[in-house]
């Protein structure tokens, strides 16, 4: 059984948290990819590229 992922939108962006505080398997890589993409968007905005 998979853990439930709680999604909350905050002023600083999207935050994904699992109840146990750990991510496993494919879910871990999905969340890491989302964080990486969000960081790229923030970096582009900070550099004025978008």
pLDDT tens digits, 21-43: 677 889 999 999 999 999 999 99
What are residue 15's DSSP bridge partners? 8
Contacts 24+ apart (CB under 8 A), 28-31: 31/5
Q: Distances in Å between the alpha carbon of 36 and those of 2, 4, 11, 19, 31?
A: 23, 21, 18, 21, 9
pLDDT of 8 over the 80 cut: no
Pairing of strands 6-10, 13-17: antiparallel
Please name which of 4, 1, 7 lies closest in space to residue 38, comparing C-alpha atoms: 7
Over residues 2-11, the mean pLDDT reads: 53
Q: What is the pTM of this model?
A: 0.52
């Amino acid at each position: 059984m998979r853990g439930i992922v709680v999604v909350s939108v905050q002023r600083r962006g999207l935050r994904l948290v699992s109840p146990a505080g750990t991510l496993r398997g494919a879910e871990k890589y999905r969340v890491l990819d989302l964080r990486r993409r969000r960081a790229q968007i923030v970096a582009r905005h900070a550099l004025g590229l978008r």
